[in-house]
Amino acid sequence: MRNAAAMRNSALLVLALLFTPLAFAAEGEGAAAPVDWASWHAGNEVSNTASLQRGARNFFNYCAGCHSLKYLRYSRLASDLRITNAQLQANLLPAGVTPADYIRSSLAAPDAVAWFGKQPPDLSLAARSRGPDWISRFLRTFYSDPASPTHSNNLQLPNAAMPAVLSDLEGVKLAVFRNVEVMVDGKPSTEKSFDHFVTVLPGQLNAAQYEAFVRDTVNFLDYAGEPAQVERRSIGVWVVLFLLVFTWFAWLLKKEYWKDVH
Ligand code: HEC
């Protein structure tokens, strides 16, 4: 009996040894196409109110400590996102702030400069100046970089002064670069080019959940960049419907008039 077990164990060991090089070889060959992060899209929908509400919650939990939205009032946000006054008071309003106030960060400018080297920019217009895709890529391409003062770096904004504040949720990842041959002024030279990420510490969310988290957050910033767009889009539908009905009436009227002429 004991012999049989020992034989089975050594057989397993041989099998494992046989397949290990294969596994490594497969990984080497798997270096197919590099991850094309630059073509990632935000995929957000400003008409999705539930997503905007989740995005607002994300913003206040993870961003408002450093970033303001100085053109948006709490009251406006609440009415656009269909948040009741009670919910606003209980969940979003900081102590001593009224619904009529603009959304300001509690971070004092001198502290920000001391800690990050610069002040975190106001994000009211970020979605308009950078675009939702840019922000989405920014939030998804932080990677661990011990050489940087924040211990992290970013593909979309290299040497960003913003720390990887979402790593609790996303996990910590390393960026793997490979050398590529490029021509600089007619001379061949090697350059580092991003290949793929490797997660070294998983976060609280899996990849799909983190993507959804970023989509909602970017959606909220997209809304904040132009709060009127939510209303404008829903009015737009009625305007088009009205024009269609009006065209139909105009056509009936024209038919009526021309009947006499003929
Ligand atoms: C600990 C402070 C801190 C927190 C928290 C933080 N940021 Fe930042 N953020 C910064 C700093 C500092 C910069 C400036 C980066 C630079 O220019 O190098 C920045 C820059 C940005 C930019 C780039 C703006 C631009 O156009 O250059 C975006 C977008 C952004 N943050 C979004 C967010 C979002 C979304 C969150 C919440 C999930 C967040 N930040 C949380 C500190 C922070």
pLDDT at 236: 85
What's the CATH architecture for 33-226? Answer: Orthogonal Bundle (1.10)
Distance, CA 252 to ligand 1 centroid (Å)? 58
User: How confident is the model over 182-214, as pLDDT tens digits?
Assistant: 888 889 999 999 999 999 999 999 999 999 999
Pocket test for ligand 1, best of 67, 136, 211 (most atoms within 8 A of CB): 67
For 58, other C-beta atoms within 10 Å of its C-beta total 21
Q: How far is the CA of 108 from the centre of ligand 1 (A)?
A: 15
Dist. CA 173 → ligand 1 center (Å): 19
| 66 Cβ below 6 A of ligand 1 | yes
Show Cβ contacts of residue 3 under 8 Å, excluding neighbours closer than 6 positions.
none
How confident is the model at residue 184, as a pLDDT?
87
Q: What is the mean pLDDT of residues 80-108?
A: 93
**Probe residue for ligand 1, chosen from 63, 68, 106, 162 as the CB with the greatest number of ligand atoms within 8 Å:** 162
Could you report the per-residue pLDDT of 139-190, keeping only the tens digit for each?
A: 999 999 999 999 999 999 999 999 999 999 999 999 999 999 988 888 999 9
Put simply, whether the predicted model's pTM sits higher than 0.85 gets the answer no
For ligand 1, say whether the CB of 225 is within 6 Å of any of its atoms.
no
* Percent of the chain whose predicted confidence (pLDDT) is above 90: 73
Q: State the amino acid at position 15 in one-letter form.
A: L
Tell me the HSE value of 75 on the side-chain side, using a 13 A CA sphere: 5
Mean pLDDT to the nearest integer, 66-92: 94
174 within ligand 1 shell (Cβ under 6 A): no
Cβ 34 vs Cβ 195: under 8 Å: yes
Asked whether the predicted pLDDT for residue 15 surpasses 80, the reply is no
Q: Does 169 sit in the ligand 1 pocket, CB within 6 Å?
A: no
Closest Cα to atom 42 of ligand 1: 162
| pLDDT of the residue at 123 | 97
pLDDT tens digits along 95-115: 899 999 999 998 988 899 999
